[in-house]
Amino acid sequence: MSDTSTIFAKKLAPRGSVDVMEHAGFKARLMMADRLEGESVHRLPPGLPVPVFPIAALPAAPESWSREAGTYVCPVAEDWGLWFDWTMNDPLNTAILPSVKGMNPITGQKINTIDLEQYKDKCPIHGCNLSHERFCEECGYKLPPQNYVCTGYLWWDGFRQPDGTVRQFFFTGDEQRDVASAVIGKKNTVPAFGFAFFKPKNPRVREKEEYTGNGEFVVAANINCDETFSQPMFFSPLNTPDNYTNSVQSLMRSVDSVEEPVISMSSTIRNKLENKSVSVGAGARINQELQQDTLDIKDWNEEPSAIIRLYFVFEAKFVKMLKEGGIKDISGDDTGFLKDIPVG
């Protein structure tokens, strides 16, 4: 992302928010993008980071939500396209197990355990043997090589399809479009994204990295192969979609003046969305193949090194949360234990 794009995004950031989520040295961003349309297969869409709030800064967040380190909250709007950005992590030594409302968007399975899995011989659901290219007779389609993202391509844009595309993530108030509810049952869903980060037992060493142009890096590592990492594109600050600018500027006004929330919708729709849960739908097709891991599953640590959670609500519900509890300053005293002690 260019420096000017970063400055642009920070200027739009509401008070108390950040655009990068962090935990135990790992980082993630939720990227807002145009919602794609039509039946053609699209390229990876550009995006800009969505402002998020550490949950510790929101005293009125629901009691059922986790308060663990690495937990954030994000106000959103309908019809935002979105994707997950993990490119700030080591591309050779990071695996990410993603969750969308409690469901893995790669496999469609409910997240019961936080484990990396590879599928080579057996179907994890039916236990039957897989045939050519991991085809399962019981499922009726080809399984992915694994249930996580790695091998340098550290981003993900939608719900996986076996044909080498994904269906774009997008936010909606239409519960009939919520993929997780339809696949794993609404009672099993949570209003959050989850990212579990894993490290290999023996970290791979980058020997060289050459920039080839067009946003591509060729990286040779000690795994005796060359891997081309094509970075996703970001919005230019001179060509930023109006829906992003309008939504975030609206949010800024809402945060700065919770007595009179300003959002670009009628009061009827506002009240409706205040009580609506956010659904994540499957939109247009995007050309995105899951890259097969070059390591064996036993080469990764069994336990994640970090977990980042991001709860999401419609802006009207978020403003209500601010009215009830405000934004708590969690920066702390910058003098620490030297407070009230003569210094200098």
pLDDT digits 0-9 by tens, 193-211:
999 999 999 999 876 555 4
The pLDDT score that the predictor gives to residue 153 is 87
Q: Band of the pLDDT at 236, cuts 50, 70, 90?
A: very low
133: tokens are 């290219």
pTM of the shown model: 0.83
How large a percentage of the chain has pLDDT more than 90?
A: 56
Instruction: Give the integer Cα–Cα distance in Å for 158 and 29.
Output: 15
Residue keyed to tokens 């080498």: 164
| Domain-embedded: residue 140 | yes
| Domain-embedded: residue 98 | yes
| Domain-embedded: residue 333 | no
| Domain-embedded: residue 105 | yes
| More confident of the two residues 3 and 101 | 101
Work out how many domains the chain is built from and give that number: 1
pLDDT at 86 over 90: yes
pLDDT at 112 over 90: yes
Instruction: Give the integer Cα–Cα distance in Å for 312 and 164.
Output: 28
Residue keyed to tokens 């550290």: 154
Residue range of the domain that includes 27:
3-201+236-325
Strands, E, within the chain: which ranges? 21-23, 26-33, 48-49, 53-54, 71-76, 81-85, 95-100, 135-136, 141-142, 155-156, 158-160, 165-172, 192-198, 206-213, 216-221, 226-230, 279-287, 306-314
| Domain-embedded: residue 280 | yes
pLDDT at 241 over 70: no
| Domain-embedded: residue 22 | yes
| Domain-embedded: residue 227 | no
| Domain-embedded: residue 47 | yes
